[in-house]
Amino acid sequence: MAGRLHFRHQRRLTEGRFYTAGNRGYKPVMLYSLADLSTLSDLPFDEVIDVRSPAEFAEDHLPGAINLPVLDDEQRAQVGTIYVQDDPFRARKIGAALVARNAARHIDGPLADRQGGWRPLVYCWRGGQRSNSFASILKQIGWRVGVLEGGYQTYRRLVVARLYDTPVRQPVVLLDGNTGTAKTALLQRVRTLGGQIIDLEGLAQHRGSVFGLVGAKQPSQKMFESRLADALRQLDPNRPVLLEAESNRIGNCAIPAAVWRAMCAAPRIRLAATPQSRADFLTTAYSDVTDDIDRLETRIEALRRFHSADTISRWLAWAREGAFRPLALELMEQHYDPRYAKSQARSAHEILGEIRLAGFDESDLDRAAEQILELASGFRQP
C-alpha cells in the first residue's frame, strides 16, 4: 500500500478492529500521508475529493481530484469574516450548518451511486476542519474514507520540491527552430511513435508567442506546475525526454527553476524550413486566431511598441482582408526570426542534428518525427 496510514486517536488493535477508550467499536478517520509524488499513481483509494471552495480548486488541485466544496466561495468568505471580525464560536456554528447542508447535497447528488465498498480520499487546504468534517459524515455512512494529512499544502510542497529543488532525472533534449517549423505538431508525432515528450505549451495552454493563447485563459502558475510535475512523474527516468525550446515564460506561466536549468544545459535538434512553407503552415496552425479577426487585431496592436505605425497599419489591413499568408511572412521576417537569431547568438548549444523540412504534409511530418526520435534516443546524459 502506497504511503502510510495514521490514526488520530490513541487506540489498540484487537482482532483486526480499531477501538478507542470509552467508545468501543468506534473507527477513527484514517489519515493518509503523502510522502512522494510517485505514490499518486498508486493511491489505495477509488476517488480523490477536494472539499475546498470552487475558486481554490480552480487555482490548483491534486491530479484527478473532483471538487465537492463543503463551503462555496461566498460561504467561505462569510464564515472567515465572522471568525476574524466577530466571534469564532459563532463562525464555527454557522460553518457547521453550511457544511452539513452542502454535504447532504453532495451525498444526494454526485455521490448517490457510490456503493458500499467505495473508498474516497478527502482533502482541504491543510487537512483541517473542512476535510475532517466531510470525512466524518462519509465514515458514518460506512465508507472507508481517508483524509490527506496536511491537505493541499502537503501536495503543494512536494510539487515545489520536485520542480525547483530536484534535478530532472531524465536526459533532456530540446526541439529547436524558427516560428512555423511545426515543433509542437512534431512533438505529438514523436509521442505517437513511442518517444517521451513533455508539451510545455499544451500544459500552459499557450503557444509561446503574442498570438499564442489557446482557449479563454491560461492556467494559474500553480496549476501549470501541477501539470508539469505530473507529466514528469510519469516518465521513465532512463530514457530521454523531448521538449520544445522555449523562453523561460510561456505566456503568463514561468518554467520552474529545476526544469529551466535542465533545458538550458540540454542539447538540441534543430528544425529548418523555407519562410514560404512556414507561412503556409502557420495560417493553418493558427486558424483559431485567423477565424477571429477582432482577436487577431488585438494581438497585432500589442506589437505596436516594436514596430512602426506604417507596419502595424499594413498588418491590420492584411488581417481585415484575410491576406494571412503575407501577414505571416512579414511577422516572421520582421518580428520572430530576428528575435530567434538574437537568442541563438547569445549562447552556444550542442546540436544533435538538423532536420530540413521540404514541406508540412503528413509524409513530411512523419519522416521528420522518425528522424527526431532516432536522434533523441541516441542521446545519453554525460
Active-site positions read 124
What is the secondary structure of 51-95 as a DSSP string? -S-HHHHHH---TT-EE--SS-HHHHHHHHHHHHHT-HHHHHHHH
Distances (CA, A) of 147 to 4, 58, 136, 150, 151: 12, 20, 10, 9, 8
Q: In whole angstroms, what is the distance from residue 13 CA to residue 151 CA?
A: 26
Single-letter amino acid, residue 215: G
Q: In whole angstroms, what is the distance from residue 65 CA to residue 303 CA?
A: 40
H helix intervals, 176-334: 183-192, 200-204, 221-233, 257-265, 275-285, 287-290, 293-301, 309-321, 324-331
Closest CA to 184 of 22, 360, 63, 8: 360
Instruction: Yes or no: say if 159 and 259 are a contact pair by the CB < 8 Å rule.
Output: no
Please compute, for residue 298, the number of CA atoms within 13 A of its CA located in the half-sphere on the CB side. 8
Q: In whole angstroms, what is the distance from residue 66 CA to residue 46 CA?
A: 12
Q: Which helix (H) or strand (E) holds 243?
A: strand 241-244
**Cα angle: 50, vertex 54, 58; to 5 degrees:** 85
**In whole angstroms, how large is the CA radius of gyration of the chain?**
26
- Crossing angle for the helix pair 221-233 and 151-160, nearest 10 degrees? 70
State phi, psi for 25 to the nearest 5 degrees: 90, -10
At 218, list the grid cell.
491560461
